[in-house]
Structure 1
Amino acid sequence: MKLLRYGPVGAEKPGLLDADGNIRDLSAHVADITGAVLDDASLERLRALDPASLPVVPGNPRLGACVSGFTKYMCIGLNYSDHADEMNLPYPEHPILFMKANSAIVGPDDDVVMPRGSTTTDWECELGVVIGKAAKYVSEEDALDHVAGYCICNDVSERTFQNKLTGQWTKGKSCDTFGPTGPWLVTRDEIADPQALAMSLDVNGKRMQTGNTATMIFTVRQIISHLSQLFTLHPGDVISTGTPPGVGGGMKPPTFLKAGDVMELRIEGLGSQRQEVRADD
């Protein structure tokens, strides 16, 4: 099942994508796609609906982030062995964790706005994990039972803010619009193995990132278990799990985004994103 949110910013409605690619309105059944409807029982109730009985949403509406109301949007840094190799950095002993501000989260095709003074804004295609059941002190064996589904995340990053403004990575990760998420939340029953998903990112039609979740240093199971030892993961929380090689900062010479550039992201089974880059006024 592919759940989504559609409509103007701040007024998104819940929906699902049917087998023919039509958006179907879920407003009669749930108020929004939040953690409150992502437990197994609630998802099973939605799965039992006949999509043909739901109203078709006409046209081509804007899509919002595929989940709303999360308490945490967490990101794992340097989590692909081939990305660590391209950056000439040692593999971390434990997952590197930082957080992205909720105000950074936007729809999958919304514009990405470079903040004033930015000259080193970069791209990062990532597998997003959405929690469906509260997780505290969870074992690796049981970790995936706490997942509602998966999505695409673009962990847009301003490298100068991230690395040279004296502080945590969050400074370069939480600028407005730096968290495109979606287009839809694909429930975990549709993804046989989250460690076997091909992924890519193009800028202006040129392939920049090619990777596979198989090269994660810490798997989805390990990440969920590790984080749950530190704090409770709540339904609706999002974990962006790291990026494969091909980021602009790893190129020789480094290559960064400029106004007018277009990013296109794809992950196997999870759809695609497209964002145009513009400078802040």
Structure 2
Amino acid sequence: MRLARYEDKQGRHVGVVLESGKIVSTPWSGFDGLFAEADPYAALLDIDLSAAEVASPDRMLAPVVDRAQIISTGGNYRDHLDEAKDEIQAREPVFFPFLWGAIIGPDDAIVIPRPDALTDYEVELCVVIGKKARHLTAENAMDYVFGYTILNDVSARDVMEREIHQVMLCKSVDTFVPVGPHVVTKDEIADPHALRISTYLNGEIRQDAITGKMLARIPQLLTSLTRDITLYPGDVVSTGTPGGIGYFRDPQEFMAPGDVITAEVERVGRLTNRVVAGW
């Protein structure tokens, strides 16, 4: 099942995306309501989609729980580590959180804050947590995954050029974390490690890989995180980005006002955002 979060004249809602592309309404105003159900997936299956009202969204929103923990993984694709060998010296995947003010939805604008900002792209497959998770094991970690979405880890490279450890100010600039366009439930994807993952800048491909190239796969990432951290329903954990980012191209290439960036993961969707100037 494919789920969207949208806004119309009546407020905010969770909807089911049909094969036709139309969205039908559900009883929940947000994903927090869905995840409050004893069995969220069973609650979705109880909806009579043929009788549900077709929605007319005014705006699509990031398909996440408000104020959820959105956690990124760095250094989890070999080709990205190879291209960044002089910048990233990681012995294991590195986790860091995004600030909520950075989160935007599909079709929202990425706002470059300053003319001197070196604004880069990073496509990432994400897992959406379905139930409270702590001390997971490799054997049970996937039982806690509700579904998948896409995140574009937009980055201000000039900040990390100045100070390599200044990750938050590089990664959590306002509007720099598009998420979406939908959440695809886990049953729709047999193997999340066999998906093509790509980025297109103004329609031209920039990143192109297979999720099977992850160094640490999803169960390992979740066991590492939950050793000391509790994940809650609706939390989002990215799985890292492959090589091909603009900073390590020759010549370097960054996003500019007027650009359109699309992050795509096979079977999950295409997350497209325009880029505008904030000055």
Measured against the shorter chain, the TM-score band is over 0.9
Aligned to 2:25: 25
Deviation at 1:7, TM superposition (A): 1.7
Q: Answer yes or no: is the 8 Å Cα contact 2:133–2:230 preserved in 1.
A: yes
Give unmatched runs, 5+ long, in structure 2.
Answer: none
Is the alpha carbon distance of 1:47 and 1:175 closer, same or farther for their aligned partners in structure 2, counting shifts above 3 Å?
same
SS of residue matched to 1:53: coil
Aligned to 1:224: 222
In the alignment, the residues of structure 2 paired with residue 276 and residue 97 of structure 1 have an alpha-carbon distance, to the nearest angstrom, of 27
1:260 partnered with 2:231: no
Deviation at 1:166, TM superposition (A): 6.5
Aligned to 2:202: 204
Q: Answer yes or no: is the 8 Å Cα contact 1:39–1:235 preserved in 2.
A: no
- Aligned to 1:65, which of 62, 69, 73? 62
SS of residue matched to 2:209: strand
Aligned ranges 1:10-159 → 2 under 5 Å: 11-26=11-26, 29-34=27-32, 37=35, 41-58=39-56, 61-88=58-85, 92-159=90-157
1:12 maps to amino acid: R
SS of residue matched to 1:52: coil
- Aligned to 2:241, which of 233, 240, 243? 243
In the alignment, the residues of structure 1 paired with residue 236 and residue 33 of structure 2 have an alpha-carbon distance, to the nearest angstrom, of 10
Q: Percent identity among equivalent residues? A: 38
1:274 maps to amino acid: T
SS of residue matched to 1:109: coil
Aligned to 1:213: 211
1:129 maps to amino acid: V
Give unmatched runs, 5+ long, in structure 1.
Answer: none
In the alignment, the residues of structure 2 paired with residue 13 and residue 154 of structure 1 have an alpha-carbon distance, to the nearest angstrom, of 23
2:22 maps to amino acid: N
| TM-score normalised by the chain length of structure 1 | 0.92
| TM-score normalised by the chain length of structure 2 | 0.93
Q: Answer yes or no: is the 8 Å Cα contact 1:150–1:188 preserved in 2.
A: yes
In the alignment, the residues of structure 2 paired with residue 163 and residue 129 of structure 1 have an alpha-carbon distance, to the nearest angstrom, of 30
1:228 maps to amino acid: T
CA-atom RMSD, angstroms?
2.1
Is the alpha carbon distance of 1:118 and 1:130 closer, same or farther for their aligned partners in structure 2, counting shifts above 3 Å?
farther
Is the alpha carbon distance of 1:40 and 1:155 closer, same or farther for their aligned partners in structure 2, counting shifts above 3 Å?
farther
Q: Answer yes or no: is the 8 Å Cα contact 1:36–1:235 preserved in 2.
A: no
Deviation at 1:116, TM superposition (A): 2.2
Deviation at 1:40, TM superposition (A): 7.1
Deviation at 1:165, TM superposition (A): 4.1
**Deviations 1:177-228, CA, capped at 9 Å, x for gaps:** 1111111100111111111110111111111010111111111111011000
SS of residue matched to 2:61: coil
